[in-house]
């Protein structure tokens, strides 16, 4: 009887060992699958990072180009403004129209613009009309 118990215990231990090996084998397979999946995700992320770095470099280069263009346009605008101011100084008529535009901007009527600037009604109406369109 004691021998039967020993053989029974050995049989149970053998079954437990077989079950443990089976479970270990399954866990190992799952770990390998998880490792492959993680490796694929890492590879994809590395590709995405490379693409994003290329796009970032393109944006940086574009920004530099836009900055140079803005600087050039600013210089060009300054030159135009300077020329405009020079022309405005030499043309007395332009002073009248500048004054008329300022009056229109402040809400003056056609009659007020005509009186203050000594310009015809049609020109006063034109100045007022242009200011109203620009204000929209």
Please report whether residue 117 resides in a domain: yes
Task: Report the mean per-residue pLDDT for the chain.
Answer: 86
Q: How confident is the model at residue 91, as a pLDDT?
A: 53
- CA-based radius of gyration for the chain: 43
* Burial label, 10 (beta-carbon count in 10 A; 0-12, 13-18, 19+): exposed
Please report whether residue 17 resides in a domain: no
pLDDT at residue 20 is higher than 80? yes
Phi, psi of 16 (to 5 degrees): -65, -40
Please report whether residue 116 resides in a domain: yes
Please report whether residue 121 resides in a domain: yes
pLDDT tens-digit readout, 66-116: 888 889 988 988 888 787 666 655 555 566 778 888 888 888 899 998 898
CA–chain centroid gap for 3, Å, is 82
Please report whether residue 119 resides in a domain: yes
Between 6 and 54, name the one with better pLDDT: 54
pLDDT at residue 6 is higher than 80? yes
Helix (H/G/I), strand (E/B), else coil: 118: coil
Q: How many domains does the chain have?
A: 1
Between 82 and 1, name the one with better pLDDT: 82
Q: Residue 96: give the domain boundaries.
A: 91-136
Please report whether residue 134 resides in a domain: yes
């Amino acid at each position: 009887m004691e021998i039967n118990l020993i053989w029974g215990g050995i049989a149970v231990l053998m079954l437990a060992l077989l079950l443990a090996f089976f479970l270990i084998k399954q866990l190992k397979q799952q770990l390998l699958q998880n490792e492959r999946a993680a490796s694929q995700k890492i590879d994809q992320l590395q590709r995405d990072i490379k693409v994003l770095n290329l796009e970032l470099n393109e944006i940086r280069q574009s920004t530099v180009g836009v900055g140079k263009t803005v600087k050039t346009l600013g210089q060009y605008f300054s030159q135009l403004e300077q020329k405009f101011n020079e022309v405005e100084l030499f043309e007395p008529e332009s002073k009248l129209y500048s004054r008329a535009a300022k009056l229109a901007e402040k809400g003056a009527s056609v009659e007020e613009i005509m009186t203050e600037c000594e310009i015809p009604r049609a020109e006063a109406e034109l100045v007022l009309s242009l200011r109203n369109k620009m204000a929209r």
